[in-house]
Amino acid sequence: MKTFPMGGVHPSENKLSSAKPIEVLPLPEVVNIPLAQHIGAPAVAKVAKGDKVLTGQLIAEAGSFMSANIHAPISGTVTAVDMVANGQGLRQMMITIKREGDEWAEGIDRSETLVKECSLSAQEIIAKIKEAGIVGMGGATFPTHVKLSIPAGKKAECVIINGVECEPYLTSDHRTMLEHGEELVVGVTILMKAVGVDKAYIGIENNKPDAIAHLSKIAAQYKGIEVVPLKVRYPQGGEKQLIAAVTGRQVPPPPALPIDVGAVVCNASTTFAVYQAVQKGMPLIQRVVTITGKNLKEPKNLLTRMGTPVSALIAAAGGLPENAGKVINGGPMMGRAMVNLDSPVTKGCSGITVMSEQDARRREASQCIKCAKCVSACPMGLEPYFLSKMTQKKNWDELEARMITSCIECGCCQSTCPAYLPLLDWVRLGKQTVMGRIRARAAAAPKK
């Protein structure tokens, strides 16, 4: 069974909601839509307080090429365009819409009928994806149209669909693959056409045998699409790890990109969104969000409109349990802990994980015993113990030499440390600082 070449861990999978069909969450009364839900420049608001909007209507336009459009997820009145606290308590620009009914903008096909044929050119497909505001829905939120626009001089050789979902607890991609398999595979053909390749792989970890069987059956009807079962190992869903697992090629260290080894990776949910955007004219205004946790009454997969407060999802799953200690936007390996439960679901939010206080509290850190478990767990072949120490000593040059910028922040090192050291807390800080220094150097270079 294929997998990535080095490091990795196998945390308890805890896929509590994998057998729960996708439910539709009732429409929220008020939504807050952040203008920055993606990597790159924030979108620019096209509506003002008092404006009436329809579901699916463009309300904010991409601020630059590296940005994404945003559409109204519900119909109603814009009540504010103002600073609102996000999940981390930081204030950012958001459009607030109060719901009035559910009236959709024109040109969106909401029927279930499968549309297989796509006669658009690559350019037109990418334009449609850009128009629909699609970004990577696995959590990285990289604008998809940017990813599909292959830079001059580079050549794509294959499309890889990321159906790995290696993050514990989360099942939104799994359910999407099961319930929208037909559409997803059509989405794959569209992506292949967009980047001009005739080979696509769908990577799925073998803890989802139903999804592997289902998609293999569908993919058999198409040419050039292959489902690749993968050994269960975190962080297989990391872009570089997935490429290595499927094709055996390793993406060189930054600033190299996956396209340098000829791969274009797209998340399973994103692929479904691409199908909807191109074949149905549906912008990215809703997504499947897993609401999960060992102490929740009913872990679920909910089809949720963007901007819905997280508290509404928790309520739908039976409310916050008495012993809740941590609410995470995402899964327990890479998700961000939240302080503000009224903050909205965004394009990159694949799940909400609720942990009990006992599970959530870190155990007390002791001294490093040099066990080297972090070194063998690192999927990028780095030395986390050393990077963490050098960050605390602010030895930025040494950090750069030891390739801290290659860190993908997967958390394997910290989760495997028997001394419970906050390795990644420090490494992340060191990486940010070193990247800042590299940028500053690049900015200063042309002057000389």
Partner 1 sequence: MANKLIVAPAPHVQTAQSTARIMRDVVIALMPALVVSTIVFGVDVLRVTAISVAACVLFEFLIQKFLVRGSLTISNWSAVVTGVLLAFNLPASIPWWIVVIGAFVAIAIAKMTFGGLGKNPFNPALVGRVFLLIAYPVQMTDWPLPVNGAFDALSGATPLAAVKHGIAGPDALGVQNLLIGNMPGSLGEVATLALLLGFVYLLWRRVITWHIPVTILATMALFAFLVALCSGESGEMLWQLPLFHVLAGGAILGSVFMATDYSTSPMTVRGGVIFAVGIGVVTMLIRLWGAYPEGMSFAILMMNACVPLINKYVKPKRFGVVK
Partner 2 sequence: MEVLLYTILTLCVLGVLAAVILYFVAQKFRVEEDPRIDEVEKMLPGANCGGCGFAGCRGMADALVKRDDISELFCPVGGGDCMKAIAAYLGKAAAEKQPEVATVRCGGTCEKRPRTNEYNGAKSCAVAASLYAGETGCAFGCLGLGDCVAACAFDAIHMNPETGLPEVDPDKCTACGACVKACPKMVIELRKKWPKNRAVYVSCVSKDKGAVVMKACKAGCIGCGKCEKVCAFGAITVENNLAYIDPQKCKLCRKCVNECPTGAIKLVGMDPLPKEPKAPAAPKAAPAAEKVAPAAPKAAPAAEKAVEKAAEKAAPAAEKAAPKTAPAATKEPSHES
Residues that bind partner 2 (CB under 8 A): 32, 80, 82-85, 88-91, 96, 336-337, 339-343, 360-362, 422, 425-426, 428-429, 432
The listed partner (partner 1, partner 2, none) that binds 82, CB under 5 to 8 Å by sort, is partner 2
Which residues inside 255-294 make contact with partner 1, applying CB under 8 A?
A: 256
Q: How many helices (DSSP H) and strands (DSSP E) are in the chain?
A: 14, 17
Query: Which window, 109-117, 305-313, 322-330, 344-352, contacts partner 1 (CB under 8 A)?
Result: 322-330
The listed partner (partner 1, partner 2, none) that binds 406, CB under 5 to 8 Å by sort, is partner 1
Residue entry with tokens 């729960």: 20
Give the nearest distance from C-beta 231 to partner 1 in angstroms.
17
Cβ-based nearer residue to partner 2, 91 or 110: 91
The listed partner (partner 2, partner 1, none) that binds 195, CB under 5 to 8 Å by sort, is none
Say how far residue 230 (Cα) sits from the centre of its chain: 19
The pairing of beta strand 324-329 with beta strand 336-337: antiparallel
Q: Using alpha carbons, list the distances in angstroms from residue 240 to 142, 148, 189, 203, 237.
A: 15, 17, 22, 13, 8
Give the nearest distance from C-beta 395 to partner 2 in angstroms.
12
Residues 6+ apart with CB under 8 A from 249: 243, 261, 262, 263
Give the nearest distance from C-beta 374 to partner 2 in angstroms.
15
**How far apart, in whole angstroms, are the C-alpha atoms of residue 72 and residue 312?**
18
**How far apart, in whole angstroms, are the C-alpha atoms of residue 255 and residue 303?**
36
Give residue 315's identity as a one-letter amino acid code: A
Q: State the binding string over 170-209 for partner 1 (x if CB under 8 A, else -).
A: ----------------------------------------
End-to-end CA gap in the chain: 52
Q: Is 355 in the site for partner 1 (CB under 8 A)?
A: yes
The listed partner (partner 1, partner 2, none) that binds 251, CB under 5 to 8 Å by sort, is partner 1
**How far apart, in whole angstroms, are the C-alpha atoms of residue 308 and residue 69?**
18
The listed partner (partner 1, partner 2, none) that binds 168, CB under 5 to 8 Å by sort, is partner 1
> What is the biggest distance separating any 2 CA atoms in the chain, rounded to whole angstroms?
63
CB 97 within 8 A of CB 53: yes
Residue entry with tokens 């998340």: 267
The binding site for partner 1 (CB under 8 A) comprises 5-6, 11-12, 168, 240, 244, 250-253, 256, 320, 322-328, 330, 332-339, 353, 355, 357, 360-363, 366-373, 375-376, 378-383, 385-386, 402-403, 406, 409, 411, 414-420, 422, 424-425, 428
